Chain A
């Protein structure tokens, strides 16, 4: 995923999402000019549509399986449409896995991760970007960024031990670690964006008597909103979908997140595929829904992350 990303090849264009968007569109327009006389390439469209089936099949199977009766679910044809539609699978999965509790845990961990990442990373980025000529801030930037190259398995065993020692072997500890692992990626996006903000704005606010604290919260933080959206969405996806960290850090199985729950119940689902898929669907649906409404920022985030 994107939190991996970063550091780029070719020197890249404007840092703001608006900017790179416009660039991309402009260059697309130029290309359209080049081949403007040609008709849309039907063959390529058809080939891409066929390729997209490979993306859609697992999702289609998940949805249709979750709606099938137990009899139909084991008939061996995964691609048939559900007939009749059986909605009781969701109720069964809901009760079996105690879905509301896991959903609450997942939601809390994710909310804390998103809020914590946006707030801590934007504050740190502001401090770093505005004090770049001071060694402490400059070195802190490289120090925090280095975590981008540190895989979770390297620190996992010690983190399990430490979180156990200080009573953080629970969702709170998971959220804290999620925030820490999102920092470098978020710092990179925020500092790049802060560089593009005209400093005159901040200076005139200071002349009007605003303190650094006020300048940040009343002026800079609102201006960071588009970047906060990108940073927040990536924190959301990383936290909501993570399996390794909660499964290793959280000691109490009843405080597990949705992805871990699917694994815990894997044996109990056994051949009730319809119930299992109803459970999978309920766990993955929130992320897909968020994506459908935030595509723009998701796509921009990957590109900016890699090209900064």
Chain B
């Protein structure tokens, strides 16, 4: 989508000032334009593309991060397929990302509907709901870690709720819930703002017409609002899922992967390659993760292209 629009934009505006491409083809580009672009391109290649290529290369070796190494083919990949540490980190991260996407989108959509309704203190409320977006993930995770392990058990004891008497982060069965909650707390603002934009883009006339037909409340929401913002729901779902797969800061702050390794994310596992001596092995892990990221990107592009055509 982004790409399609850009393609149209500059071309359209160009055609007014020059007689199409043929004439320009002979004209040399002002070298200043190269000066504006090429250094950035070079820096980007050195700091992003080269490391990505290196990662793929090392994933086929037995390097430990320094010294000599040999090519070992797909050995690392085969080992990954049966490594419980890898499999559990993928299982945890995927499951966590799915749950969080659902939680975040449901809450953000509800809030967005509320925040676009006829309410008091609209500006102030919106401002408050966006705050979590600007706070450092690891710091807010430390704050919640305190609340989960000190305040929540205190409340649980006072009210006699058995499930809450101990820190939810200390139990492998419930620690993930804490991570979902804090991740959602931080991710809701951006999702919410996108939904607000979507809701404001629906022309008021649509509601007027449906009101004349006797539709109201729930029926309007189901048969007008939701279909008209379907594209936004889709994009929020994909962007969210992609982000949550990368989760790191909040988990470090809340559980640091524990108890045991029950909440260790893919990113945390990859980073252990830095200190753990299985450098090449984690490069293979990173490469698989890369493939998943590309797959998600392709789905995203496909969907947004499709929408653009409508």
CB distance from B155 to the nearest CB of A (A): 9
Chain A residues closer than 8 Å to B114, beta-carbon distance: 44, 47-48, 51
Chain B residues closer than 8 Å to A216, beta-carbon distance: 32, 36
Chain A residues closer than 8 Å to B140, beta-carbon distance: 58, 284
Chain B residues closer than 8 Å to A181, beta-carbon distance: 48
Q: Chain B: how many interface residues by the 8 Å CB criterion?
A: 126
Decide: B32 and A211 in contact? CB cutoff 8 A: yes
Decide: B198 and A140 in contact? CB cutoff 8 A: no
CB distance from A160 to the nearest CB of B (A): 6
Q: Which residue of chain B has the shortest Cβ distance to A299 in the bound complex?
A: B193
Main secondary structure, interface of B, reads helix
CB distance from B294 to the nearest CB of A (A): 7
Decide: A157 and B120 in contact? CB cutoff 8 A: no
- Complex CA distance for A161 and B53, rounded to whole angstroms: 13
Decide: B147 and A58 in contact? CB cutoff 8 A: yes
Partner of A306, one of B10, B194, B242, B287: B194
CB distance from B93 to the nearest CB of A (A): 11
Among all A-B residue pairs, the 7 with the closest Cβ atoms: A9-B231, A30-B204, A158-B51, A132-B10, A149-B297, A195-B9, A241-B136
Decide: A45 and B6 in contact? CB cutoff 8 A: no
Chain A residues closer than 8 Å to B32, beta-carbon distance: 211-213, 216
Tell yes or no: A101 within 8 A of B by CB. no
- Complex CA distance for A148 and B298, rounded to whole angstroms: 12
Question: Would A1 and B41 be within 8 Å (CB), given that A48-B115, A127-B33, A145-B3 are in contact?
Answer: no
Main secondary structure, interface of A, reads helix
- Please classify how large the interface on chain A is, using the bins under 10, 10 to 19, 20 to 34, 35 or more: 35 or more
Tell yes or no: B17 within 8 A of A by CB. yes
Question: Would A52 and B125 be within 8 Å (CB), given that A78-B146, A155-B51, A195-B6 are in contact?
Answer: yes
- Complex CA distance for A126 and B121, rounded to whole angstroms: 40
- Complex CA distance for A34 and B212, rounded to whole angstroms: 11
Tell yes or no: B139 within 8 A of A by CB. yes
Question: Would A199 and B13 be within 8 Å (CB), given that A58-B143, A306-B235 are in contact?
Answer: yes
- Complex CA distance for A289 and B55, rounded to whole angstroms: 39
Decide: A13 and B201 in contact? CB cutoff 8 A: yes
Chain B residues closer than 8 Å to A143, beta-carbon distance: 41, 44
Chain A residues closer than 8 Å to B75, beta-carbon distance: none
CB distance from B268 to the nearest CB of A (A): 9
Decide: B134 and A287 in contact? CB cutoff 8 A: yes
Residues in A37-67 with C-beta less than 8 Å from chain B:
38-42, 44-45, 47-49, 51-52, 54-59, 61-62, 65
Residues in B118-142 with C-beta less than 8 Å from chain A:
118-121, 125-140, 142
Interface string of A250-276 (1 = CB under 8 A from B): 000000001100110010000001001
Decide: B2 and A6 in contact? CB cutoff 8 A: yes
Chain B residues closer than 8 Å to A229, beta-carbon distance: none
Tell yes or no: A277 within 8 A of B by CB. yes
Decide: A151 and B246 in contact? CB cutoff 8 A: yes
Decide: B10 and A195 in contact? CB cutoff 8 A: yes
